[in-house]
Structure 1
């Protein structure tokens, strides 16, 4: 079955570049040196690739407030990431997964739009920060390729049962509430300017100890009065209520993911280590969900069936459907999705997030009874037909849908980690970095 809730996410590099000075990216060792530093199956990683990847990583570390590790340690960590990228690229090639220029151009354009930039402004911003636009495009193409590969190899196989949803809702239904406002509490353990490694270690150790005490039941307000160096310490660290759009950037993700009463891990930025508690949430469970009743015909690509072959076959089938032949009959005879083919291609009622983004976008653009042009997804090529639409006014059903999505994401992250470990374990990898 091709249904999944995986959402492709592109690089966050641009956000870091927009707030950093160009000097941040001026790093030693950026000259192009093509010594081989790793062998990965029948391929190699060269020094210039490592330097390029380090230049992409450094702005993200600074934007997160993370101290740059020693160069040797950074190179080792980045090389590990490069090896995993190379292994995934090799696997994608085996499966015939490619990212064409049209898909890449659309992704880059969307990144620019989200940051209120033109393509030209995006290119100037990147190059002012020492990042070649071609390198940025290569990194974006790599991320899209990885997302498609992981979706096909791992995420599409994740299944969530009804009892799992019941258990999730019993414990974590509060996480699914549509948040309008959050009330936050805060403890700051300050750092001096240019702290020494010993000072960093001392304050970090204390922050971890306080979090452990809070999670064992210590009163946050009392601890804030006693330990916090923030401006709101005497108010028990209470920062008050925030509209979701006004939450401070440092804790933006926490405001959407912490449950009411939950305490975060310590967060570090230049001012020190921060401990956040999400004290209360204002909002309500969403009530309306738009559902689409749809059917499809899938042609999978493989060593014998190319993209052009699959697209040509679907165009022929579309012509027959438009001329009056029955969609269901053709789906039973031609669709490679055996589960839905037996039902004439019927997918039932589909909710937002149930399908991969390319399929959902094509389905959303169709009028009832219209038949799409061939649509490419990680699973192959599809013809899609929308039969009808409805709006479901039931918070219970939508909460269950959101619980299913949350469980699929959680399971997907765990499954991807295991899949990557297996991919690495089964590969031939020879490291030559230390031998240089």
Structure 2
């Protein structure tokens, strides 16, 4: 009887352990990345999301196996960057996350609640979306912090490009580029190079025979844009990596270019679209702001509430902007000027600051908002349209060169991060 009693009391535990074992198999480990893992459920969830997006856009996809391979590669890269963020002590706080989500919602003319409801309708789980968005913000900050310091643009480079643009009568024409990368190891053997070149040639043949570029990019590309169908977005020819710019020049929409050889591997390009013309004018804004940085002494809530109280007092005519900025702002460049930022191209500001300015009417003051620098308020004082003077053209050329160099160094950084990592992809049972 005692043995029977022990067995009976043990049965629930045995069933529980068996249930956990089954669950572990379903939510198995897809890859080991240093001291972390990528779970199979993460892969499955992202595959489902890519399929939903493709269906809504009428886009065809490669086989599930090819899609899972690309998704796993994306998640491995994300894991590596999140691990680096942890080593750097970089963290996106809840207030930062909420502010960024609010900016996204406002950009789509939705309230945060309307935006949340739309995500629930499209994806079902708003909390999962929220944490995925936090990861995206974190990886963006990792790239900015580690890649930006690698980029140096000399005055000579700016002068040289300005001279070339003047000689060629260069315009602000922009290209929407598609990119497929057939990668090679950093110290590839002749056999590995030959194999990669053969695979690149086969991809080119498929494309020339009429295969859809985006579908082939998802199936075959090793670039970070693979899951986006190879879409690199809109770029001026002088913002592209030099290898791409030289090859794209003079080409037409839908042209296929490549394979082009670089240290990363073999590149195949196409032009999805071309837009724009020579623009001789620039929209500038004149504004003033206050920045308060959260710290051990100044919490996120206190920083935001301090600015919110000032905004209320300012609107009621009880407070002076310049006095408040001089006494409280932590932006050394504008603090002594009463927060005045002068005339500037809004594109020079970080996205959240730029987007807030674009929504304001003349003399309107914003509510507190968060950027990577801290909590801000900003008042739009005026707008104007100016000719592209030599100084403004110089700024534009600098941004082109910076964007080009940033893209090149970002690829190098991600490749180095991966080369230094321990990565083991585990076979999943069918």
Superposition TM-score tier, normalisation by shorter sequence: 0.5 to 0.7
Match of 1:104? 101
Q: In the alignment, is the contact (CA less than 8 A) between 1:180 and 1:282 conserved in 2?
A: yes
Q: Deviations over 1:245-289 (max 9, x none)?
A: xxxx9999689646542585349xxxxx998699xx996421221
Contact 2:175/2:271, CA 8 A, preserved across alignment? no
Q: Hey, what does 1:307 align to over in structure 2? A: 300
Q: Tell me which of 383, 387, 397 is aligned to 2:381.
A: 387
What's the counterpart of residue 169 of structure 1?
162
Residue equivalent to 2:356: 362
Give distance in 1, aligned partners of 2:127 and 2:351: 26
Mapping 1:278-317, distance limit 5 Å: 284-317=277-310
The residue aligned with 1:330 is 324
Q: In structure 2, do the counterparts of structure 1 residues 160 and 398 end up closer, same or farther at CA, with 3 Å as the change threshold? A: same
Q: CA deviation at 1:86?
A: 3.0
Matched, 1:47 2:40: yes
Which deviations, in whole Å up to 9, do the C-alpha atoms of 1:53-92 show, x marking residues without a partner? Answer: 4555678999587787769965863452242253266368
Post-superposition offset of 1:370? 4.2
Alignment of 1:417-436 (within 5 A): 417=411, 420=414, 431=424, 433=426
Q: 1:276 to 1:405 in 2, by over 3 A?
A: same
Deviations 1:118-170 (A, max 9, x none): 9888767768xxxx776555544432443355446655996655443222233
Q: Give, in whole Å, the separation in 2 of the partners of 1:112 and 1:31.
A: 43
Is 79-88 or 69-78 further displaced after alignment? 69-78
Secondary structure in structure 2 of the residue aligned to 1:265: strand
- State the alpha-carbon separation in 1 of the partners of residues 296 and 419 from structure 2: 26
Contact 1:285–1:399 (CA under 8 A) maintained in structure 2:
no
1:205 aligned to 2:201? yes
1:372 matches 2:366: yes
Deviations 1:322-367 (A, max 9, x none): 5465533433332222233233333221113111122122223444
> SS state of the match for residue 381, structure 1?
strand
In 1, Cα distance between the equivalents of 2:358 and 2:67? 48
RMSD: 5.4
Specify whether residues 371 and 253 from structure 1 end up closer, same or farther in structure 2 by C-alpha distance, changes over 3 A only: closer
1:7-52 alpha-carbon deviations (Å, 9 max, x no partner): xxxxxxxxxxxxxxxxxxxxxxx984244843655x5443322443
State yes or no: 1:81 paired with 2:70.
Answer: no
1:309: Cα distance to partner? Answer: 1.8
CA distance in 1 between counterparts of 2:203 and 2:64 reads 20
How far did residue 406 of structure 1 move? 1.7
Aligned residues: 341
Structure 1 CA distance for aligned equivalents of residues 329 and 123 of structure 2 = 45
Report whether the alignment pairs 1:348 with 2:342.
yes
- For structure 1, list consecutive stretches of 5 or more residues without a partner in the other structure: 1-29, 183-199, 210-227, 231-248, 268-272
Q: Separation in 1 of the partners of 2:108 and 2:362?
A: 32
Show the counterpart of 2:250: 261
The alignment's TM-score, normalised by the length of structure 2, stands at 0.57
1:404 to 374, 380, 398: 398
- Work out whether residues 31 and 425 of structure 2, in 8 Å CA contact, stay in contact via their aligned partners in 1: yes
Q: Contact 1:61/1:67 (CA < 8 Å) preserved in 2?
A: no
- Whole-angstrom distance in 2 between the partners of 1:175 and 1:53: 45
Q: Cα 1:418–1:295, aligned 2, differ >3 Å: closer, same or farther?
A: farther
